[in-house]
Amino acid sequence: METLGNFFPANPAPKFYCNICDYGTCRKSNYDEHLMTSKHKRNSNGNFCQPISSKNQQSINYSCQFCGKEYNNKSGLWKHKQKCSFENNENNLKCESNNSLEITPELIFSLIKQNNEFQQTIIEQNKTIVELSKNGTTNNINNNNINSHNKTFNLQVFLNETCKDAMNISDFIESVKLQVSDLEHVGKVGYIEGISNIIIKNLQALEVEKRPVHCTDQKREVMYVKEDNIWEKDDEANKKLRKAIRMIAHKNICMFKAFREKYPDCEEYDSKKNSQYNTIVYEAMGGKGDNDYEKDTKIIKKIAKVVGIEKSNT
């Protein structure tokens, strides 16, 4: 009985086979034509096919180097690589690596060396800062203690020994002798400048050791005033010195009579001296403004600049 297998003769094994395109033929002419097709050129991408005498050699396996899957031909492997997730991940890693800095042993060694040098520099700087801080703190404490002690000690020596024969502030006020010219000057320059000039002029006429007032801190107007033969620090408001200023200002007012005696026409309404006299009276009584405390404060600032204790004296 004939069967289909007996009816159709078995296909002969191809003598020529293209592994890339999975194409086989028994005819050399057909094989050569296949090599010239665009499909083969596209799949081969430069690879050359060798004719084989038997299809038994199809047993050659092609495996994916990324996932390990095997294929009977390169065409199947090529198609697989287009979708292989392992290959795509590998390509991504390569791209990221190419975009980053190339790490070489020389680069690593250089970075380690720079890091060590930087750390050493920081350590040395910290040591220097600590040493300077310790020395600076110690020196400042010692210097402050010594200077504070010396200032207190030298100030007492200066006041009680060097200036032991200084005038009392009340005696100084009593010693101030005013002239009509002093009154006229107050009218000309104003109350603050005029009274300051009177006091400073009389203080400068005395030797430093004879003055009844000294300033140890011009910025804060720290004043030491002698009264009842005792040197004492004036309070924060400098009440003793303010009292002295007011008393000298009063002595200046008392010069009105002397001015009228010297210039009788000052009492005539339409005379030039009358205008001058009115200005003098206005300024001698305090001048512009009603805040006598602020005016006296400005006078104290001017006095402090004159009676400041020199460093050589301490």
DSSP per residue over 72-99, as a string? SSHHHHHHHHHH-HHHHHHHHHHHHHHH
Average pLDDT, the chain: 79
Q: Specify the long-range contacts of residues 84-90, CB closer than 8 Å, at least 24 apart.
A: 90/66
Q: How far apart are CA 298 and CA 143, in angstroms?
A: 34
Residue 273 CB neighbours (<10 A): 17
pTM for this prediction: 0.52
DSSP per residue over 199-232, as a string? HHHHHHTS-GGG-SEEEEETTTTEEEEEETTEEE
Q: How far apart are CA 130 and CA 254, in angstroms?
A: 68
Two tokens, residue 208: 């430093």
Residue 74: Cβ-neighbour burial (10 angstroms; 0-12, 13-18, 19+): buried
| Strand 222-227 versus strand 213-217 pairing type | antiparallel
Q: What angle do CA 102, 108, 110 make, to 5 degrees?
A: 115
Please report the beta strands in 228-286, taking only residues with DSSP state E, as ranges in sequence order.
230-233
Tens of pLDDT, residue by residue over 148-184, are 444 444 788 999 999 999 999 999 999 999 999 999 9
Residue at token pair 């680069």: 107
Please, are residues 255 and 266 in contact by the beta-carbon 8 Å criterion? no
Tens of pLDDT, residue by residue over 110-157, are 777 777 777 777 777 777 777 776 665 545 544 444 454 444 447 889
Compute the residue count for the chain.
Answer: 314
Residue 246 CB neighbours (<10 A): 14
Tens of pLDDT, residue by residue over 170-227, are 999 999 999 999 999 999 999 999 999 999 999 999 999 999 999 999 899 999 999 9
